[in-house]
Structure 1
Amino acid sequence: MKIESEDIDIENLLAGRFFNIPRFQRPYSWDDENIQDLWDDVMGAKGEDYFIGSMVVYREGKQEFSVVDGQQRLTTITLLLCAMRDAFAVLGETDLAEGIHQLVERKNRSNKNEYVLRTETSFPYLQEKILKFGDPEISTLPELVEEQALKRAMKLLTEKVSSLVQAIDIDASITDDDKHGVKVDRLIKLRESVLNLKVIFVKLENEDDAYLIFETLNTRGKDLAVTDLVKNHFTKLLKSKGAVDSVKLKWGGILESIYESAADITSDAFLYHFWASRHESSPVKKLYSVVKKRVDAKNARSYLDALVRDVEFYRAIHEPSFMWTKNEKRVAASLRAIQVFRVVQPTPALLSLVRAYKDGKIKLAKLIEAVEAIERFHFTFTAITSSRSSGGISGMYSSFGRKLFEAEDSNQAGMEIKSFIQKLRERRPSVEEVTLGFRDVIFTNSTTKQKPLVRYILRKFAEQDEFKFAGDWDDLTIEHVAPQALIGTDSWSEANVGQLGNLFLLDPKKNGELANKSFAEKKNILSAGHYSVPRALAYTEVWNPDTVRSHTDAMAVMAHDVIWKI
């Protein structure tokens, strides 16, 4: 492997070379903080030499290089050059604007204009909307995740450059006749600071060396995600043979599905759970090496297609409003509950279950049975008793996901699900543990952390008792039988006023009418209006902290033995 390196400033770097951003690189993703750091470097340089890091490339021609490391920085510097070019143009300084533009676009050896920075993933948005000097020829262009990042970065850099110029307009010490010249001088100084920035320019001779360096750099502390490394591996195995780059398109679709989701999901987490639902679970830090060993030229395409398909299922698991139909609403409801519990261990199992259902390996009834079992288990195990697992739970889910994936037919899949549900049943907390846990679930106006869980629990009890409400479930409010105004009086504390036994769901209008009335008054109003209320409230004449505790404990037994029974 031949490696050359040199210290070089930005002006000389761009003046004699053209740079390609290969398809294995991540899309442009610098945020405001990254851009601010670069801006601070530029302002701190004050026209002098200032080192801003390294850049690794491999040679594609005499003057052509593909970027292995440093593309985010190179792209941002190019955007800054465009912002300065446009600022000179606004001032009517065409020669200065065109002088900078020569570092953005210039003639190649065939005397054809060509952009110094060539990208595939953001083409043609970057070229038409930002790099082009003048109005774009294509007015309407797609603005996906990368394009939006480029647009935001260009806007921020344009604002920073403009602020330097606009500051002169409000400087009373500068006469109106001198302001134009001062603006030009200030932009020239900014230009010199940018062009004098220095990098360590590392050159390799071929693409294979670049892949090796890429992996080495990014497994030794660089900030590339597992996603980038896995994408790089697929790109290396599935090289494009024509005008259509299938890896780029398919991988872009995967990332787009994740980015567009309303759920808080990441590409790294998706890859981890995808793998754990099919193979032995591997820690995220070791996942790339495991994938690299198993995914080869023979099976890479099938794995990539599986990722494209599974990412939709993964999104549907975390975003219950996505993909599920009315006939599948019970599945969506259970998935929504699992999100309330903030539990991630079941994800490989859930992904495998949804995949099996979509593949026709299991019926909807079997999917509902399995997903509801997971919901019921984690309600008591996680949400109520906060039980901890030594790793056995995660292993159980991954093992089940793999076995279900490997099941050859519906009979074998059904047997795996039956065995899996039995394991959940055996791990359930006892009724005594659930009772203690119920006592600790609290909701008041000042203790709101568990409000989503409280609403979920109260709705399940209302459904169990077949309560009738005029409005939708989401419109109902949480009524405190003993009002919160009693907290701190007699023996009422926040703990017993906010306890489950003192709460039930009610429509907002009636809730407001009850306000801080006494227990007897509330009973009369609710009874006269034929409102659905918990049995303990209907058949009790005295309401005190002991009554609340008794009602809470009775709810816990009902929860364990009936509502959340597996």
Structure 2
Amino acid sequence: MEAAERTISKILTEQIRYEIPPYQRPYSWEKGNVEQLLDDVWDAFEADDEEYFIGSLITIERSKDELYDVVDGQQRLTTLNLIFARLRDAVSEPAKSTLGKRVLPKNELTGEEETPRLTLRQKDQSFFRRHVLASEEITDAISREIQNKQDAPKIRLTENLGVIDNFLAQRDEKSLKLFANYLLTKVYVVFVTTASWQSAYRLFNVLNARGMPLSNADLIKNMLFARMGGASSKSEELDEQWLQLEEAIGIERLDQFLAHHRSSVTAIKARKTLHEEYKPLIEASDSPFSFLDGITTSARNYLRIQQNGFEDVAARRSLRSLHRVAFEEWVPPLLAYLNNPVEGISEAEFIDLLEKVTYQNWIRRLAFTARLTAYFQLITAIRSGKSADEIRSIFRQNAQNEEFHSLLNGEVYGKPFAQAVLLRLEEADQDESVTKDYGGKITIEHVLPQALKEDYWRERFTDDAHRQWLHRLGNLALLAGIKNYKAQYFSFDRKKKIYSERNNKVSFDTTKLILEQDDWRPEFIEFRQAKMVEAAADIWTIA
């Protein structure tokens, strides 16, 4: 490994080319990053500072003094290319040609464009060359297309070009030429070179250990390329498959998916960082491609879970209910089942049983490790080829129906599961073909208020009855919008008017039943409580 201070003029020269290797993440700097870089360097330029450092550029030397893979520093290097391309477009000759050589040199005899100084990842290179290096206009149609596709790297490139254009438009040509000269001669990086893919792999881990912003997905992808030993003939194929995975899941959710997939395979609690947990899995696979094939299959099923892509209406209802749960440990066993279907147990039945055990454990307030017990038992049984009856028996063994019923029959207001339970009960009497998605703010209101301030309530409820029914299901109403604190102590008739107005915006059937009552007494709360607990038992009891 070698390291040396170099000016930008020695980094962006006609002799050196850089490529972003497949295992790298795409361009992701946001507008604020570019604005900060421009402002900082401009301040140094105006202050006539002798030197200004912008960080390190860590590379693998593929061809002596000619071609380098960028291991770290691609965000700064790409942004410098954006800046010099726009500076080139903003000045006249001969400065234009001088700056052009730094990003996209041209043959002086033929005028033809030569190889760019920087090549991005395959998916982004065409856009980068045409619209950054060659200055083709990014039309409104192109902008709409990349926005519709949610193509994050191209969105960032477009936005950051706009930031640079705005910055340059505020300065005259003479100042821009002097600024460009300062960038080339007084701005420095620490240029680090390594010699191999293996070195790059070690360097990635060192950078990660030192807190550099590398995601677990970056490191896992790098392990796959390291396992391949730098075979360039296959690297593009592997890169393309990984790109498809990134596009399907989304870079921002990739680590989360990979964590769920790991659990769906190992059925053990993670003890190390995610990329470290993946190392033995990758080493045990037949090849990087077979490993990635398994990941890809799992990703398709993960998307089905996230998008509720199931044909069976009962399965969709149960899964919609699972997505309301405050934790996601239920995802790995469902992934394990979808990746390895169990003959004799349908998707709808498995998801129904998974909802039952998940809500029982949530309402019983089981801790994280205790919740994992049932899920890991299921994953182990599925992956070892257990029968449908053996899978069902695991659900039954983890059921605590009586404790669950007792807790639901008690006080639920203020509990983390309260809204999810009420929303699921809202669906209980509806036909399974009916789908309701509740957006916006939803609140839980006490019908019988928390303080007996009005005569209406004091005439109907003793202090004991008030304490007995206040926070139980039978006294709670779902309403759309923010909580109405001013109305909370009103009499029942006044409350009904408020409830009716808010229920017209978002209709809750369980609230309609409240509106149908002429009076609100302990006897009706007791009746409603019994009906709601019975409905909950029908949904979540494991027989």
1:424: which partner in 2? 398
SS of 1:25 mapped into structure 2: coil
Q: Does 1:129 align with 2:139?
A: no
Q: CA deviation at 1:285?
A: 4.3
The 3 A distance-change label for structure 1 pair 473 and 335 is closer
- 2:12 is paired with a residue whose SS is helix
Task: Tell me how far apart the structure 2 counterparts of residues 519 and 283 of structure 1 sit (CA, whole Å).
Answer: 51
* TM-score normalised by length of structure 2: 0.78
- State which of 284, 299, 310 in structure 2 corresponds to 1:324: 310
Q: Counterpart in 1 of 2:333? A: 349
Q: Which amino acid aligns with 1:392?
A: A
Distance change (3 Å), C-alpha of 1:116 and 1:541: closer
Alignment of 1:192-203 (within 5 A): 192-195=181-184, 196-203=186-193
Match of 1:84 in 2: 87
Deviation at 1:184, TM superposition (A): 0.8
State the secondary structure of the residue aligned to 1:381. Answer: helix
Rounded to whole Å, the distance in 1 between the matches of 2:142 and 2:347 is: 44
Query: 1:290/1:378 Cα in 2 relative to 1: closer, same or farther (>3 Å)?
Result: closer
TM-score by length of 1: 0.75
- Give the % identical residues: 21
Contact kept, 8 Å, 1:19 with 1:116, in 2: the verdict is: yes
SS at match of 2:213: coil
Q: State the match for 1:398 in structure 2.
A: 376
In the alignment, what sits opposite 1:58?
Answer: 60
CA distance in 1, matches of 2:445, 2:199: 68
Q: CA deviation at 1:369?
A: 2.2
Q: Is the CA contact 1:83–1:157 (under 8 Å) kept in the aligned structure 2?
A: no
Task: Report if aligned partners of 2:60, 2:69 keep a CA contact under 8 Å in 1.
Answer: yes
1:163 alignment counterpart: 166
- Select between 61-70 and 205-214 the one with higher mean Cα deviation: 205-214
For 1:188, which of 158, 177, 186 is the aligned residue?
177
Q: 1:255, CA displacement in angstroms? A: 1.0
2: CA distance, partners of 1:499 / 1:59: 69
- Structure 2, unpaired ranges of 5+: 459-465, 481-491, 501-507
Q: How many residue pairs get matched?
A: 502
TM-superposed deviation, 1:134 = 5.0
- Contact kept, 8 Å, 1:30 with 1:149, in 2: the verdict is no
Residue 300 of structure 2 corresponds to residue 302 of structure 1: no
- The equivalent residue for 1:10 is 8
Distance in 2 of aligned mates of 1:154 and 1:536:
55
Q: Could you tell me how far apart the structure 1 residues matched to 2:401 and 2:73 are?
A: 50
Residues 274-324 of structure 1 show CA distances to partners (whole Å, capped at 9, x for unaligned) of 11111143537433223223323734322110111110111111221xx32
Amino acid at match of 1:312: R
| Amino acid in the other structure paired with 2:327 | V
Evaluate the alpha carbon distance shift between residue 267 and residue 416 of structure 1 in structure 2; reply closer, same or farther with a 3 A threshold. farther
Give the secondary structure class of the aligned counterpart of 2:53: strand
Relative distance call for 1:210 and 1:418 in structure 2 (3 A) is: same
Q: Which residue is equivalent to 1:67?
A: 70
* Alpha-carbon distance in 1 for matches of 2:61, 2:125: 22
Distance change >3 Å, CA 140–CA 226, structure 1 → 2 = same
Residue 437 of structure 1: CA displacement? 4.1
Amino acid at match of 1:233: M
Trace 1:274-289 onto structure 2 (pairs within 5 A): 274-283=261-270, 285-289=272-276
Computed over aligned residues only, the root mean square deviation of the Cα atoms, in angstroms, reads 4.4
**C-alpha contact 2:412 2:418 (8 A) present in aligned 1:** no
Identify if the C-alpha distance between structure 1 residues 20 and 541 changes in structure 2 by more than 3 Å, giving closer, same or farther.
Answer: closer
Shift of 1:222: 1.8
Aligned residue number for residue 218 of structure 1:
208
Residue identity opposite 1:394 in structure 2:
L
For 2:526 and 2:517, locate their aligned partners in 1 and report how far apart those are by CA, in whole Å. Answer: 11
* 2:474 aligned with 1:501: yes
1:251 aligns with 2:239: no
Q: In structure 2, what is the equivalent of residue 95 of structure 1?
A: 94
Query: Which residue, 368, 372, 376 being the options, matches 2:356?
Result: 376
Map 1:398-547; keep pairs closer than 5 Å.
398-407=376-385, 412-426=386-400, 429-440=403-414, 454-460=422-428, 462-463=429-430, 473=436, 489-490=454-455, 500-502=473-475, 542-544=519-521, 546-547=522-523
**Distance of aligned partners of 1:550 and 1:459 in 2 relative to their CA distance in 1, 3 Å threshold:** same
SS of the counterpart of 2:94?
A: helix
Whether 1:333 and 2:307 are equivalent positions in the alignment is: no
Contact 1:28 1:72 in 2 (8 A): yes
1:440 deviates by 4.2
Q: Deviations over 1:391-434 (max 9, x none)?
A: 02124313421330231xxxx23144123211331487433222
Task: Find the aligned partners of 1:305 and 1:517 in 2 and give their Cα distance.
Answer: 61
CA distance in 1 between counterparts of 2:457 and 2:182 reads 68
Give secondary structure in 2 for the equivalent of 1:59.
strand
**Partners of 1:492 and 1:345 in 2: CA distance:** 43
TM-superposed deviation, 1:80: 1.8
Question: What is the CA–CA distance in structure 1 between the aligned matches of 2:536 and 2:237, rounded to whole Å?
Answer: 51
Q: Distance in 2 between matches of 1:79 and 1:288?
A: 32
CA distance in 2, matches of 1:148, 1:537: 48
The structural deviation recorded for 1:241 is 5.8
- Counterpart contact for 1:480–1:503, Cα < 8 Å: yes
**1:44 partner letter:** D
Letter in 1 for 2:303: R
Q: Deviations over 1:141-168 (max 9, x none)?
A: 984999944443344444334434544x
CA shift, 1:120, in A, is 3.0
Partner of 1:116 in structure 2? 117
Where do 1:143-154 residues align within 5 Å?
Answer: 143=146, 148-154=151-157
User: Any residues of structure 2 matched to 1:42-53 within 5 Å, and which?
Assistant: 42-46=41-45, 48=49, 49-53=51-55
Deviation at 1:197, TM superposition (A): 2.1
Q: CA deviation at 1:271?
A: 1.2
Deviation at residue 108 of structure 1 after TM alignment: 9.1
Distance 1:212 1:430, change over 3 A: closer
Check whether the contact 2:330–2:358 (CA below 8 A) recurs between aligned residues: no
In structure 2, do the counterparts of structure 1 residues 107 and 184 end up closer, same or farther at CA, with 3 Å as the change threshold? closer
**Is residue 314 from structure 1 mapped to residue 302 from structure 2 by the alignment?**
yes
CA contact (8 A) 2:357 2:395 kept: no
Counterpart code for 1:247:
L
Q: Which moves more between the two structures, 119-128 or 292-301?
A: 292-301
Distance 1:420 1:435 in 2: 26
SS in 1 for 2:172: helix
Taking a change above 3 Å as real, the CA distance of residues 557 and 294 of structure 1, as seen in their structure-2 partners, is closer
1:267 Cα deviation from its structure 2 partner:
0.9
In structure 1, the residue matched to 2:28 is: 29
The structure-2 alpha-carbon separation of the partners of 1:518 and 1:346, relative to structure 1 and needing over 3 Å to count, comes to closer
Letter of the 1:25 counterpart: Q
Which residue of structure 2 lines up, in the alignment, with residue 446 of structure 1?
A: none
Counterpart Cα distance in 1 of 2:216 and 2:282: 15
Correspondence for 2:461:
none
Secondary structure at 2:28 match in 1? coil
Cα distance in 2 for partners of 1:552, 1:288 equals: 51
Any conservation in 2 of the 1:370–1:417 contact (CA below 8 Å)?
no
Alpha-carbon distance in structure 2 between the residues aligned to 1:516 and 1:540: 10
Structure 1 residue 243, shift from structure 2 partner: 7.7
Native 8 Å contact 2:60 2:194 kept in 1? yes
Match of 1:177 in 2: none
Tell me the distance in 2 between the aligned counterparts of 1:129 and 1:28.
15
Is 1:562–2:542 an aligned residue pair?
no
1:56 positional shift: 0.9
How far, CA to CA, are the matches of 1:187 and 1:85 in structure 2?
A: 10
| Range with bigger deviation, 474-483 or 547-556 | 474-483
User: Which amino acid in 1 is paired with 2:71?
Assistant: V
SS of the aligned residue for 1:53 comes to strand
Supply the distance in 1 between the matched residues of 2:516 and 2:17 (Cα, whole angstroms): 83
